[in-house]
Amino acid sequence: MTENPRPTDYPSPQLRVEALEALLVERGLVKPEMLDGFINRYVNDVGPMNGAKVVAKAWVDPDFRKRLIESGTEAIKELGFEGPQGEHIVVVENTATVHNVVVCTLCSCYPWPLLGLPPDWYKDPAYRSRVVREPRKLLGEMGLDLADEVEIQVWDSSAENRYFVLPNRPKRTEGLSEDELAAIITRDAMVGVAVVKVG
Ligand code: FE
């Protein structure tokens, strides 16, 4: 009798996903073109550029910003962004004294309609545990050194809510248009592991 393989002995995730997909298709449970369409949509059509449009609008339109903080899901729908993992979006606002950062300690919940699919580091067990335990140290290692007086709030996505960070607008951006602002807003700033910088 052979022993059950340990987790590290399993073949690569890609092989396992392919096997799973083949089985689901064979049983008639999913259509390959549906899966391809889904992946294509979240890799090419939906991504951090959506979230960046939301942030840029909030920076230039105080009424939108107010609606966004009060009722994130409804406000982002005004820009046409909705869908799976976007049913309950909560927008958390960075200020001069509070910095927000998002995690899913259980798995990898993420606001797909605004940011697309999560990056690998977001799914990494090290990020998921350390950002709760030692956020300042971890963010420092990721290149974000926050002043001691800035309080860090960590938001765990593990309920229905998907959190989205509204970053601070950098200084010296008064002359930029909404589109130009959107172009400087990064995915990492909207997860809260970075801040938006100019140039
Ligand atoms: Fe999750």
* Ligand 1 center from residue 188 Cα (angstroms): 18
As a whole-number percent, the residues of the chain with pLDDT over 90 amount to: 76
- Let me know if 129 is a catalytic residue: no
pLDDT for the residue numbered 40: 80
* Ligand 1 center from residue 109 Cα (angstroms): 3
CATH architecture of the domain 47-191 equals Alpha-Beta Complex (3.90)
Cα 59 to Cα 57: distance, rounded to the nearest angstrom: 5
- Let me know if 104 is a catalytic residue: yes
- Domain borders along the chain are 10-43, 47-191
* Ligand 1 center from residue 122 Cα (angstroms): 10
Catalytic residue among 71, 107, 157, 177: 107
Mean pLDDT calculated for residue range 41-60: 92
Closest CA to 100 of 139, 46, 154: 154
User: For 125-173, how does the pLDDT look when each residue is reduced to its tens digit (9 = 90+)?
Assistant: 999 999 999 999 999 999 999 999 999 999 999 778 999 999 999 999 9
- The three-state DSSP-derived secondary structure of 32-100 is HHHHHHHHHHHHHHCCHHHHHHHHHHHHHCHHHHHHHHHCHHHHHHHCCCCCCCCCCEEEEECCCCEEE
- Let me know if 157 is a catalytic residue: no
Question: Which tokens belong to 10?
Answer: 């399993």
pLDDT for the residue numbered 17: 86
User: For 53-110, how does the pLDDT look when each residue is reduced to its tens digit (9 = 90+)?
Assistant: 999 999 999 999 999 999 999 999 999 999 989 999 999 999 999 999 999 999 999 9
Dihedral sign, CA of 76, 162, 71, 97? negative
- Let me know if 107 is a catalytic residue: yes
* Ligand 1 center from residue 175 Cα (angstroms): 39
* Ligand 1 center from residue 83 Cα (angstroms): 16
pLDDT exceeds cutoff 70 at 39:
yes
